Structure 1
């Protein structure tokens, strides 16, 4: 018997050549959250890459990114880490400042990727 997911949403959905991911937060495998925006950004993007890999995709296939930052002061450090994970052509992106419900999390990121022909 398969255990139902803890939260009522899918992690990834494929439709009409696109992969839509739910928001990813910086939880390590043991449930901990690393310190600092750079470490949290790296972890979130690694987790997104892992989810995309389940559909045969990678970060190079990402066409759109939505970012929710807790503190606008983290914008520069977030961008510096983000840039390490994406290459040209860069995905389109929206970044907003938002209150997150997970204590200690400094960001949440969701992406849309295009499946390869």
Structure 2
């Protein structure tokens, strides 16, 4: 059985998908851009965007009864791989104890001019 997760403390989906889906003891978070939930816009440099999107992701996970501490896997999409180190600086402040397994890729483009997008799988 799957359950749709939705919160006003993170930006609404910009397409036909859920913010997250809870199923079989896991929460699957859709890729998050650094969309300000109040303005609907992507704002800031890559470090500010990373902080915003991980904050939004934390709010989505909280709605699902989970947290960033329970994330087991992330995938990071970068508009420019040269931002890898800058993203890592912020990312490390959100995942301190046992960092999740992770993949990171440069992609051709991200929606809304985003510089970074992260998706996650967490324990429920």
TM-score w.r.t. the length of structure 1 is 0.89
Query: Could you say which residue in structure 1 is the equivalent of 2:120?
Result: 111
SS class of match (2:32): coil
Q: Does 1:9 align with 2:13?
A: no
Query: Could you say which residue in structure 1 is the equivalent of 2:28?
Result: 20
Q: Is the 8 A contact 1:100 1:107 kept in 2?
A: no
Alpha-carbon spacing, 1:16–1:102, altered in 2? closer, same or farther (3 Å): same
Q: Is the 8 A contact 2:72 2:101 kept in 1?
A: yes
Aligned-CA RMSD value: 1.3
How many residues are aligned here? 111
- Determine the C-alpha separation between the residues in 1 that align with 2:68 and 2:15: 25
- Determine the C-alpha separation between the residues in 2 that align with 1:104 and 1:113: 27
SS class of match (1:88): coil
Alpha-carbon spacing, 1:14–1:36, altered in 2? closer, same or farther (3 Å): same
Query: Could you say which residue in structure 2 is the equivalent of 1:92?
Result: 101
- Determine the C-alpha separation between the residues in 1 that align with 2:62 and 2:112: 28
- Larger strand proportion of the pair: 2
Query: Could you say which residue in structure 1 is the equivalent of 2:65?
Result: 56
